[in-house]
């Protein structure tokens, strides 16, 4: 299990580059596309990684984060559902 901790008072994730990898918010469609891809399936995603899981958690907000060469265009090497309270 891995976690990305974000203080609830912080602004949304900003686009950042490090060693050619960008970290950015992504759409639910891009996120689901990654989970359905061979790379995403190799990670063995469970229901807790589905964007709809955030809708079940009352009192929580969510962010879909993607990283890779170009997250906005769907070029991802990883993705995370981050819940904020």
Is residue 45 classed exposed, middle or buried when 0-12, 13-18 and 19+ CB atoms within 10 A define those classes?
middle
2 falls in which pLDDT band (50, 70, 90)? very low
Closest residue by Cα to residue 64 from 38, 40, 30: 30
* Predicted local distance difference test score (pLDDT) of residue 31: 92
Is residue 64 classed exposed, middle or buried when 0-12, 13-18 and 19+ CB atoms within 10 A define those classes?
buried
* Predicted local distance difference test score (pLDDT) of residue 51: 84
Domain ranges of the chain: 24-84
Average pLDDT over residues 6-15: 44
Q: What is the DSSP letter of 60?
A: -
Give me the residue label for tokens 């070029």.
75
* Predicted local distance difference test score (pLDDT) of residue 30: 93
pLDDT tens-digit readout, 25-68? 999 999 999 999 998 888 888 888 888 888 888 888 899 999 99
Distance CA 37, CA 55 (A): 23
């Amino acid at each position: 299990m891995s976690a990305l901790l974000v203080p609830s008072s912080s602004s949304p994730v900003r686009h950042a580059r490090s060693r050619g990898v960008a970290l950015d918010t992504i759409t639910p469609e891009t996120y689901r596309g990654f989970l359905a891809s061979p790379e995403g399936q190799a990670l063995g995603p469970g229901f807790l990684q589905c964007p709809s899981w955030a809708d079940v958690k009352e009192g929580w907000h969510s962010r879909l984060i993607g990283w890779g060469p170009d997250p906005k265009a769907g070029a991802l090497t990883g993705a995370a559902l981050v819940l904020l309270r």
